[in-house]
A and B are shown apart, each in its own frame.
Chain A
């Protein structure tokens, strides 16, 4: 270390580089950096604002309309984000092929929000300030949406989410709405089923530290405890955890009636299920719809998950629009559409935005107010109605996992009672 100090000192003395000389060089460098920064940033917003001005002043225009997208395109949650992007792409292509918005084509801009608040905020910043979009479809994860809301509000840009379900998002902002229901109903349906149907009094939870699982915990415990259930004991873990053994050991020692596995993504749920098996603990299980909605994980873990309860926002396989959507997806991408309960709302979200653009033009404030007037809109996810608080009206139904498949829960007493749950 001392040799470096020596040589530096020697160089400074030998070069007669006094402090003013160095200061001048620094000022010059700073000037160049500032100029370069101005040239880059100053020129960038010029074209987007030009676009949006023409689009707002004259809605009937052949200028393309930019539509923002934010969702998780990398990481564990990319399993949702990639089909989400595909679905948006599919719907936008359909709309463009049918003539777009009065002749104007829709141009999607995809940003990776990585299922967390930090990248959600970055994605929103980029879409709003650099690309100048007026409508963003997303975020997908609740954390993304929560972080993007203040930015969207400041820029008067619509956030329309087809996947974020945290109850914390309800009525959060004038500029936020969703065609996916809040998890408040998911937690409530599960609490009700656990206490009243299964007679479970003591439910413990292993929960990932993230907004979506936290929302479900809050909804579940706030319904379960007033019913008479024991206070829900939970073990939380950060997303990067891979070793759950000691947490599960603690929960097992509480001798619960059931274990609620509440993760953000199927990957962590799969690790937990494997370690349950390793610990030779076969509890009765409640899962959230992140797990029950993932056919692959449900299938590979069918022995552990047999009889597990879930509450999903269901799909109506007999709906003609849903059928044509799944067919179009299969034709375009060669695979069956995964996570159907999200797929249907993703597809509908694009079409609802199309109708909004047709009705009020590409104006953030007008679109967001228009969205709250959507009533009985006919889509792949059934009749969509969005309330004044921005939430989709309607909710989750009770499901059960049987032989590696998530299916509707058949009430033990009366046979066709499932329809009354909705």
Chain B
């Protein structure tokens, strides 16, 4: 079976993409306990920031630098959403359902603004510098961009793991995760910590959007599909769990790409949802229990 190496490569690429979006999503969910639907559109916003810098205004800057600006922009967007929408709602003791609906509103508004400014046409971030090189491993072809996606996935989870374990910030986050009120009572500035969590989680989303922009291209509506896969991966792996989401993303990537080996590709999304339902029925807490 000479297509197996390529299928494995495709699964890892898809898994790494899902992992990146899930990591940011899970970080925010674990701390605030609500499904932040705006997470998907933050990824798109990061990608479009790079698109604006490099393609629309064609500012002659280093592409890596443009990406860094895109990532920081996405981070600030997430932070601003928390400051302007989610924090006031939390102060008013709004339920998680209200927060989720508010995030859906933010999602729709930002997506529509992107479409207004950049049209709803399909674009690609690809330039001559990146993505042109490709490597062959055991008969599987993988491009430079895809290698970067996989490396980014590994780097991000390692960093998050280290931060959670060894820094004061990480400990504060896990305190809020356990009980926000108690955390506040013992003197943790929860608003500031949650703001930082939004910044980091959204910056990771921005990074994901940018990498996808280089790999398969961008569209204002790219966020929804991305978010959907991210949440499926999160649920499979264990919602709110750092390593669980990472594992779930790769389970999803392999299930999707090997699932269509013998049947037609039109079933790819259906397979993702079947995996989701199986997990919801048999192991609702996910692979890794929080």
Contact = CB atoms under 8 A, between A and B. Distances in A.
Nearest to B13: A245
Interface stretch (A89-97, A169-177, A181-189, A273-281): A273-281
Interface string B1-21: 011001100110110000000
A18 interface: no
Contacts of B143: 278
Contact of B122 (A74, A247, A270): A270
A274 B124 contact: yes
B266 interface: yes
Interface in B177-203: none
Nearest to A245: B10
A209 B120 CA distance: 21
A234 B266 CA distance: 10
B266 A209 contact: yes
Interface in B253-290: 256-257, 260-261, 264-266, 268-269
Contacts of B212: 242
A189 to B, nearest CB: 27
A416 B13 CA distance: 49
B216 interface: yes
Nearest to B115: A74
A339 to B, nearest CB: 14
Given A74-B120, A267-B121, A246 B260 contact: yes
A249 B136 CA distance: 14
A279 B6 contact: yes
A253 interface: yes
Contact of A270 (B6, B7, B217): B217
Given A79-B121, A279-B141, A271 B261 contact: no
Contacts of A245: 6, 10, 13-14, 257
A241 B10 CA distance: 15
A242 B222 contact: yes
A388 interface: no
Contacts of A79: 121
A120 to B, nearest CB: 18
Nearest to B11: A246
A241 B268 contact: yes
B219 interface: yes
B216 A249 contact: no
Contacts of A242: 212, 216-217, 222, 225
B152 to A, nearest CB: 17
B48 to A, nearest CB: 16
Q: Which interface residue of B10, B212, B222, B261 has the most chain A CB atoms within 10 A?
A: B10
Contacts of A266: 122
A370 interface: no
B98 interface: no
A237 interface: yes
Contacts of B11: 246
B265 A247 contact: yes
A280 B134 contact: yes
A271 B14 CA distance: 15
Contact of B3 (A241, A253, A267): A253
A253 B5 CA distance: 12
A240 interface: yes
Given A242-B225, A270-B217, A249 B10 contact: yes
A235 interface: yes
A139 B290 CA distance: 52
Given A78-B120, A242-B222, A267-B219, A250 B260 contact: yes
Q: How large is the interface on B (under 10, 10 to 19, 20 to 34, 35 or more residues)?
A: 20 to 34
Contacts of B32: none
Interface string B112-146: 00000000111010100001001010000101001
B143 to A, nearest CB: 5
A356 B190 CA distance: 71
A253 B212 CA distance: 26
Contacts of A280: 134, 136, 141
A244 B120 CA distance: 21
A75 interface: yes
A249 B23 CA distance: 28
Contacts of A243: 10, 14, 216
Contacts of B222: 242
A188 B11 CA distance: 37
Nearest to B270: A238
A316 to B, nearest CB: 29
B51 to A, nearest CB: 15
A76 B120 contact: yes
A278 B217 CA distance: 13
A234 to B, nearest CB: 8
Given A267-B121, A270-B122, A246 B266 contact: no
A236 B216 contact: no
Contact of B126 (A74, A78, A250, A274): A274
B116 to A, nearest CB: 11
A275 B122 CA distance: 15
Given A267-B219, A274-B216, A274-B217, A246 B257 contact: yes
Given A279-B141, A280-B136, A271 B265 contact: no
Nearest to B269: A238
A236 B264 contact: yes
Contacts of B260: 246-247, 250
Nearest to A240: B225
A252 B7 CA distance: 12
Q: Which interface residue of B14, B120, B122 has the most chain A CB atoms within 10 A?
A: B122
Q: Which 10 A-B pairs have the closest CB atoms?
A: A267-B122, A247-B265, A236-B266, A235-B265, A245-B10, A246-B257, A253-B3, A249-B6, A280-B141, A278-B143
Interface of A: 74-76, 78-79, 209, 234-238, 240-247, 249-250, 252-253, 266-267, 270-271, 274-275, 278-280
29 contacts: A234-B264, A236-B264, A236-B265, A237-B268, A238-B266, A238-B269, A240-B225, A241-B268, A242-B212, A242-B216, A242-B222, A242-B225, A243-B10, A243-B14, A244-B265, A245-B10, A246-B7, A246-B10, A246-B260, A246-B265, A247-B260, A249-B6, A249-B10, A253-B3, A270-B124, A274-B124, A278-B131, A279-B141, A280-B141
Given A245-B13, A250-B260, A280-B136, 12 more contacts: A76-B120, A235-B266, A240-B269, A241-B269, A242-B217, A246-B7, A246-B257, A247-B260, A250-B261, A250-B265, A271-B216, A279-B6
